[in-house]
Amino acid sequence: MNDNLISVLERADNEDLKTLCDIITLRKDGTPRISDSLTKTEGYRRNYPHRMKSLIPGIVKELGLYGSNTFVSLFKGEGADYSAILRKVARRLKVSFRDTQSDEVIEGYMLQKLFDDMSERLTDEELRTMAREFGVKPLRYSRQAIVAALQMSIRHGGIYGLAWSMNVANAVARQAVGRGIAAFASGSVLSRSLSVLVGPIGWALTAAWTAYDIAGPAYRVIVPAVIQIAYLRQKSLMLELSISPEQDDDDEINESDDE
């Protein structure tokens, strides 16, 4: 069943849905993928790119068909369920999880794994820069403390969890379709956190992402698509909690050693 995925997509805005659709249907040069079927439909021609919500059923079906290509023995050509695709992607990225855990939890673990892999490529100063922009001020500025504080802020969700998922989705979208996700208003927490990751930290994120072995046309679709969906879920949850993406980062997360 894809009801959970459809619920997330129905709450997404048009530009975010367009990015997801492009990841699934287009190559980096903007031409349709060889195995794509969605762009050939009348519904696509009628609704793309301005009425993307009308294309949600087609987007879900197309993702399922790509997912089924990685589950040939299980699905035999039928569209794979999103939960199964997510778990396959998580295993490919070497994420630790239990099959019984929810999609939301596994997506969170996946985003944390991407941070853990990226953080290994950063200098102490780059980690401090990221921590400052993410509102994290650990009292003990060892490398381990900074990483732990950033991990906590990402797990905590809210504005900084969304900021991280947005940065991951942005880097992956650039690799997949040659452009990033829609930016938030200048001056917001999210726009500032995005800007800090365009230099060496951004390069480390991109390097960590490209280091994953996602050879094969199906994986080159479903891995970026799942990361985009994880971002859309984070964004949806934040909006449900009425947390404005334009709010200032006055409330900071502080970490210290237990006395």
Among candidates 138, 160, 155, which has minimal Cα distance to 257? 138
Quote the pLDDT of residue 208.
78
* Residue 253 DSSP SS3: strand
Quote the pLDDT of residue 48.
98
Lowest mean pLDDT among 40-44, 143-147, 168-172, 203-207: 203-207
pLDDT tens readout for residues 22-71: 999 999 999 999 989 999 999 999 999 999 999 999 999 999 998 887 65
pTM given for the model:
0.86
In order of 66, 84, 237, the CA distances from 161 in angstroms are: 28, 24, 11
Q: For residue 75, what pLDDT band results from cuts at 50, 70 and 90?
A: very low
* Residue 26 DSSP SS3: strand
Domain ranges of the chain: 3-240
**Neighbouring residues of 100: CB distance < 8 A, sequence distance ≥ 6:** none
Q: Which residue has the tokens 């980096």?
A: 28
Q: What does the alpha-carbon distance between residue 93 and residue 123 come to, in Å, rounded to a whole number?
A: 23
Quick check: 241 pLDDT over 80?
A: no
**Max Cα distance, the chain (Å):** 65
Quick check: 193 pLDDT over 90?
A: no
Range 99-116 average pLDDT = 94
Quote the pLDDT of residue 226.
96
Comparison of pLDDT for 61 and 209, the residue scoring more: 61
Q: What does the alpha-carbon distance between residue 41 and residue 60 come to, in Å, rounded to a whole number?
A: 14
